[in-house]
Amino acid sequence: MASEMATVEVTFTPLPAHVRTARLVATAVARRSGVSESLLDEVRLAVGEACSRAVEAHRLHCPSQPVRIALTGQDGRFEIEVVNAGTAPGGSESKLVPTGFSLAVIAGLADDVQISETPAGTSVKMSWPVSLSAGGSGGSPPGTSTAGGSGGPSPRASTAGGSVSNYSNCPTP
């Protein structure tokens, strides 16, 4: 089995309707990459949260620029990176959802999360384990709940080039 797959890149205009398409593409590529069927809902939901954040940022700061998603697999991991060109949505924009809420949700769904804030925008990288054999059981051990991710170590998040955000203490959905 090859240790690396080709990268699939998707760009879309920052419209909420396109988030559904991004979730469908991410789920299909994750399944084809060998992510366990029991983790596909987590992939779909995490990508939906990350893309919704990106769409909100783009609509506020740069509506003419597309949201970018890169999907790849290497070293036994399936990774999705969602990049938005604007700054991350702030708490002052939404009174109903506290700042950082969607990042906490993402961290509860993905096995590993890395958030990079730069002047050019925000990158949210999420990853999950892949099965070692096609149709294998990879992901969670038998009898382990996947509600909080892969059933492995608690989710963790970090930022590159900025302050570190650790969401491992957040309750899982």
28, 7 Cβ separation under 8 angstroms: no
Q: Is the dihedral of CA 146, 73, 16, 92 positive or negative?
A: positive
Tell me which residue of 95, 9, 85, 100 sits closest to 54, measured CA to CA: 85
pLDDT single digits (tens) 40-52: 999 999 999 999 9
Domains, in order of start, for the chain: 8-135 (3.30.565.10)
Q: What percent of the chain stands above pLDDT 90? A: 41
Give the three-state DSSP class for 126. strand
pLDDT single digits (tens) 81-117: 999 886 655 544 444 445 567 778 888 888 889 988 8
Tell me which residue of 108, 113, 139 sits closest to 38, measured CA to CA: 139
- Please indicate, yes or no, whether the overall pTM of this predicted structure exceeds 0.95: no
